[in-house]
Chain A
Amino acid sequence: MSLFKKRKAFDEEEYVEAAEDERDEDEIDEQDPEREEGESEERETENVRKTESEVDDEDEDDEDEEDEKPRRKKKKKGFPVGSLIFMFLLVGVILAAGYFGMEYYEQLHALNEQYDAAREEASAELAAAQAEYAEADPDAPSNVAVREELTEKLLAEAREKVEALESEEAELDASISENEEAMHEIEGKEGFDYYKAIYDEYVEGREYVEDLLSGD
């Protein structure tokens, strides 16, 4: 096959087509060998002088010429089954890739959601624990206020108690004074010491028996 034909042929159809054209020329050349040799020498001479681009231009010109030349008839092609098959294959690949891609995407999405939910729950729990700690902190203003309030309350109760004791002491002093005055008169009575001694014995005796009863 000539170089021209081979360069031009970039798909199978054109290659076949080119091959067919060449086969036709070969048949002609076989019938006329001198024509083929002359053509080959001309081409080789031309190729030495021409650049590639000129060759390509010529190729295009040749192509145009071929299109125009009615004598080189293109072979009529049938429906591009290969292309169709290839297309379906690509669609299959797209669908399969899409399907499995979405499956794994959903799986990934589910994993992310699961993780997010767990993190959110853990974070909420942490936030609640921190809030509880803030409330329980003994140095928190609310707790400091509670202690100050308690302190004031206890001091107030203590002040009241002291006042009550002072008042009671004053009353006792008054009663003691009153009774001591009465005692001055009583102690002078005849027999007081005698009765007092018996009285004290009975009181002490009773206390002694009370201790026995309580197990002391």
Chain B
Amino acid sequence: MRTFFRVINSIFFTVALIAAAFCGYMVYSVMHYPQAEHDAEIADIKSQTEKTKTDTTAALEEGEERLAFLQADLRNLGDEGVELADRGESLQTEVEAKQLRLAELEANVALGEDMPGSVEKARKAYADKIRELEEKVQNGETSVRICYWTLDDGPTYITKNFLDALDEMGEHVHVTFFTANEANNSPDEEEMLRREMTSGHSVQNHSYVHSTLASGSVYRSTESFREQVQQQDDWVYSVTGFHPTIFRFPGGYHSWGKDLLPGALDVLEEMGYKWIDWNCNLYDAGAEENLPTSSLEVTRALTQIPEEPIAVMLGHDWNMNTLVAMKTAIPRLMKQGYVFLPLFPESVTMGMNAKR
């Protein structure tokens, strides 16, 4: 028994030693677990991952840049790209120039085949654009202001001077001539009429003799009125190849026509005419002793026109003071944003009564 226990105890003692050693080893292993090293290892892997992701982003961006570089310009595609780019640019320039040339030729050919018709088409397109601008001005949608500078009773001896002065003011300064053949006669009146047309001005109707009740026949009757209008129309057409389409009453509808000839508007409508008076006045007509100086006309122009977003100025191209005043007033008004355009029957101002 003793020996048995001795043996058993020896075995147990050995096992106990082993168990104690095992337990001690486990405790030691846990207490000295290399947590910091493991954390460092994982942190290192993660930092490698972050670096790789950063490199990937940079690689993607570089890839995109390289693709964009290729797409940006043909010359980036090598020798053949350079050659094609140069050839393409050269051809493009040639083609564009030839397209313009062809358009011009075709327009000229079309013009040549129907000259009055082509000109009328161009005029209509021009007039429609002016109408569009007028509406914008009326709605306050633009800072542009419009002035229709009108000159009545020509062509005269000094109409040429007016045309020369207008040419000097710039290619886009245009006026409207309300012509009356018998109001003033000049040897070059037909030439001036055509020059008014070829300079881009508007040529309209102011009756043939420009006579008021006192001396003549404009307002004597509707038939007389019709004859006056028609006579002037025929004369302008015979000289210019175009019919006028706007009528200005001698003395103004407001002042004379309305009262003297109530049926006048019906006659005009029947004949296909529009009519217009004015809202600004140089007062440059009348008795010679009452004619204003050019300075006074300038003052009137610079005072009255800015009051109107769309001004219609009354002047006369037989008055030298008006020529002088115009040379001063128009450039100054242009600096204020006014543009000087020709009157066409499409204008919103048609039927305007005289204001002053």
Q: Give the interface of A toward B (CB within 8 A).
A: 77, 79-80, 83-84, 86-87, 90-91, 93-94, 96-98, 100-105, 107-108, 111, 115, 118-119, 122-123, 125-126, 129-130, 132-133, 136-138, 143, 146-147, 150-151, 154-155, 158-159, 161-162, 165-166, 168-169, 172-173, 175-176, 179-180, 182-183, 185-187, 189, 191-192, 194-199, 201-206, 208-210, 212-213, 215
Asked if B119 and A169 make an inter-chain contact with CB atoms under 8 angstroms apart, the answer reads no
Residues of B with C-beta under 8 A to A185: 112
CB-contact partner of A195 in B94, B241, B342, under 8 A: B241
CB-contact partner of B5 in A83, A102, A194, under 8 A: A83
CB-contact partner of B59 in A91, A93, A136, A179, under 8 A: A136
B94–chain A nearest beta-carbon distance, Å: 6
Residues of A with C-beta under 8 A to B35: 111
Tell whether B352 is near chain A: CB-to-CB under 8 Å.
no
Residues of B with C-beta under 8 A to A91: 12
Residues of B with C-beta under 8 A to A168: 95
Residues of B with C-beta under 8 A to A102: 26
CB-contact partner of B19 in A97, A123, A180, A201, under 8 A: A97
Asked if A122 and B46 make an inter-chain contact with CB atoms under 8 angstroms apart, the answer reads yes
Residues of B with C-beta under 8 A to A215: 142
Asked if B56 and A136 make an inter-chain contact with CB atoms under 8 angstroms apart, the answer reads yes
Asked if B9 and A86 make an inter-chain contact with CB atoms under 8 angstroms apart, the answer reads yes
Please report which residues of chain B, range 4-45, place their CB below 8 angstroms from some CB of chain A when the two chains form the complex: 5-6, 8-9, 12-13, 15-16, 19-20, 22-23, 25-27, 29-30, 33, 35, 38, 41-42, 45
CB-contact partner of A150 in B48, B70, B119, under 8 A: B70
Tell whether B332 is near chain A: CB-to-CB under 8 Å.
no
Residues of A with C-beta under 8 A to B12: 87, 90-91, 94
Number of A-B contacts (CB under 8 A): 251
Residues of B with C-beta under 8 A to A179: 102, 105-106, 108-109
Tell whether B2 is near chain A: CB-to-CB under 8 Å.
yes
**Contact A209-B13, Cβ < 8 Å, known A179-B109, A201-B200, A202-B122:** no
- In whole angstroms, what is the CA distance A202 to B106 when docked? 17
Interface size class of B (residues with CB under 8 A): 35 or more
Asked if A108 and B84 make an inter-chain contact with CB atoms under 8 angstroms apart, the answer reads no
- In whole angstroms, what is the CA distance A129 to B102 when docked? 61
Asked if B70 and A94 make an inter-chain contact with CB atoms under 8 angstroms apart, the answer reads no
Chain A: which residue is nearest B77 at the CB level?
A151
28 contacts between A and B (CB under 8 A): A79-B1, A87-B8, A90-B9, A93-B20, A98-B23, A100-B27, A108-B30, A118-B38, A118-B42, A122-B45, A126-B49, A133-B52, A133-B55, A137-B59, A147-B67, A154-B71, A158-B81, A161-B88, A176-B102, A179-B108, A183-B108, A192-B111, A199-B111, A202-B123, A208-B172, A209-B126, A209-B132, A212-B133
Asked if B129 and A206 make an inter-chain contact with CB atoms under 8 angstroms apart, the answer reads yes
Residues of B with C-beta under 8 A to A196: 108, 111
B122–chain A nearest beta-carbon distance, Å: 4
Asked if B200 and A202 make an inter-chain contact with CB atoms under 8 angstroms apart, the answer reads yes
Among B191-199, B254-262, B322-330, which stretch is in contact with chain A?
B191-199
